[in-house]
Amino acid sequence: MITILSSPKGGSGTSVVAASLAIVSSSSYPTLLVDLAGDQAAIMGLPEPPVGLNDWANGMTHREFDEILITCKDNLQLAPSGSSAVEIFSTSAWANLARELMQRESNGFNIIIDFGRVELPLAFQKLACTHYMVTRPCYLSLRRAVNTEQKFSGVIVVQEHGRVLTTSDVESVMKLKCVAEIPNSSDISRRVDSGLLKSRLPSPLQSALAPLVSLGIST
């Protein structure tokens, strides 16, 4: 199972949702969290690794793919982003990464990809995957989303106090089903800020995201 999470607008909570989904998945299945946005080491309370995906994919290290992975907790590994920007990935680099991910999926891993941006490279478009858009009920975010040609499997809505738009509005504008609603919770923010998310996942996140793991495995 390969699940990609991305957002049309930065600051929508995509990285926290991806990390949380990976933590939920790891309670039942070996899981690989792929960081293409750059924040997962910090979210997991880990020091920033000197070598990561960008270095490996662009031939800036002699390490094999397995050698750049970091163990976050039982059943959960992180492929960190690395020292350079994802934007400089070549076509062959994307293809190499896609092959590695497909190999791990065939070995029984759940793959959760924090992609960050919306438009997927060709190699990722060819993956047999689920692609969720993560967004707040925000006019500016939805305005960008409707102008993209990227196809999504569903939308994850991160709630925010004071927003006029609702989840129903998001579904109506995007013509997508909301597959999960993430509550606005100070507890979630505190866990992330203290680096404790992986050891003490808030129950609202667990409840909201667990059905996505079950859905992906059954299909």
User: Which sequence spans correspond to the domains of the chain?
Assistant: 2-217
Q: Name the average pLDDT for the chain.
A: 87
- Binned at pLDDT 50, 70 and 90, residue 217 comes out as low
Contact 104, 111 (CB under 8 A): yes
How far is the C-alpha of 180 from the C-alpha of 208, rounded, in Å?
6
Give pLDDT tens digits for 65-107. Answer: 999 999 998 899 999 987 655 666 788 888 989 999 999 999 9
The class that CATH gives domain 2-217 is alpha beta
Nearest to 137 by CA among 113, 112, 172: 172
pTM (2 decimals)? 0.91
Nearest to 157 by CA among 188, 184, 186, 191: 184
